[in-house]
Structure 1
Amino acid sequence: MKSHILNLNVNGENHTVTVRSADTLLFAIRNKLGLTGAKPGCLNGDCGACTVNVEGWPMKSCLMLAVEADGKKLTTIEGLQDAPIQKAFVENFAFQCGYCTPGFIMNCHSLIEQHPDANEQKIKEWLRSNICRCTGYAEIEKAVKSVLERK
């Protein structure tokens, strides 16, 4: 299988990685760059545990080929560096086991950035893209609302 040399800007740092044509962005981030915050869950786009931000938008990295990310600005949970939504998750107890939390935080961070005036319907719509088996979504919604209220 053909290999590709990619230039990835991840969390503000440039990286050169070699990947196969079939390698997903999730594989490249975790196995080539050692950034393990994006989690492998379903590996078919259903759960959202692998969500990262691509050019400011949430992307399930198990669905995106690494070659599609060449030259794009990527942010992983490791790159948020104390974003308000991270603190809001802690303050509102918006997690239990924590496995899905990085994906939820990345999705919510994008929501807040893309829709700073999001209403309850918009929040619920965006949260549907991620799955948590441990807790309800009330605390996560509360965390998002608390950040939006501060903006």
Structure 2
Amino acid sequence: MSKSAQEVTINGRSFTLDADPNMPVLWALRDILGLTGTKFGCGAGLCGACTVHLEGKPIRSCLTSLQQVKGKAITTIEGLNNPQLITKWAEYNVPQCGYCQSGQLMSAAALLMQNARPTSNQIDEAMSGNICRCGTYTRIKAAMMSYSDKESQK
């Protein structure tokens, strides 16, 4: 194994990547593993397009290096297992251009895993770091509130 080999777990699968330990997770996902659902937006952690889960918490993969995730579990949009949330996203016509949607869904899913019935303000706070140039914020919130209502009826 090379000195630059990085052990990572992504979507439940272990990988050994021959990559610089300082490489952002985003580029390892997209360029090495071919998981292109996670998007490059700003490269500065400001837009949320690159959001993935690290141990269930949303992070910006453009700012997080491979060495920071060593031995931890990463979930990307390809590994998100929440068909009910995705159904609500479609039901409320959330996507427009769709570019921000993987990051939006990952942030929404993280909040809903922590709090099945978030308030409107909690949704605003959790989603504030995700920019949508199409302005679908009201539909995102409506989809999340509807999902919360459905989950509480189980």
TM bin (shorter chain) = over 0.9
Shift, 1:81, TM fit: 4.0
Shift, 1:117, TM fit: 2.6
Report what 1:97 is aligned to: 97
What SS is found at the alignment partner of 1:9? strand
Where does 1:56-135 land on structure 2 (aligned, <5 Å)?
56-135=56-135
Instruction: Give me the whole-angstrom Cα distance separating, in 2, the residues matched to 1:74 and 1:17.
Output: 14
What code does the residue aligned with 2:84 have? P
What code does the residue aligned with 2:19 have? V
Shift, 1:136, TM fit: 3.1
Report what 1:35 is aligned to: 35
Shift, 1:82, TM fit: 4.8
Q: Is the 8 A contact 1:58 1:110 kept in 2?
A: yes
Instruction: Give me the whole-angstrom Cα distance separating, in 2, the residues matched to 1:73 and 1:22.
Output: 18
Shift, 1:96, TM fit: 0.2
What SS is found at the alignment partner of 1:20? coil
What SS is found at the alignment partner of 2:130? coil
What code does the residue aligned with 2:138 have? A
What's the CA shift string for 1:34-88, capped at 9, x where partnerless? 1001100000011000000110010110010111111111110001245322111
What SS is found at the alignment partner of 1:97? coil
- RMSD (CA atoms): 1.4
The percentage of counterpart residues that share the same residue type is 37
Residues paired across the two proteins, number: 150
What's the CA shift string for 1:91-148, capped at 9, x where partnerless? 1011100000000000000010011131111001011010001123000001111111
Q: Is the 8 A contact 2:96 2:136 kept in 1?
A: no
Q: Does 1:140 align with 2:140?
A: yes
Instruction: Give me the whole-angstrom Cα distance separating, in 1, the residues matched to 2:133 and 2:143.
Output: 18
Report what 1:149 is aligned to: 149
Shift, 1:3, TM fit: 5.3
Instruction: Give me the whole-angstrom Cα distance separating, in 2, the residues matched to 1:11 and 1:92.
Output: 27
Gaps of 5+ in 1: none
Q: Is the 8 A contact 1:7 1:15 kept in 2?
A: yes
Larger mean CA deviation between 36-45 and 78-87 belongs to 78-87
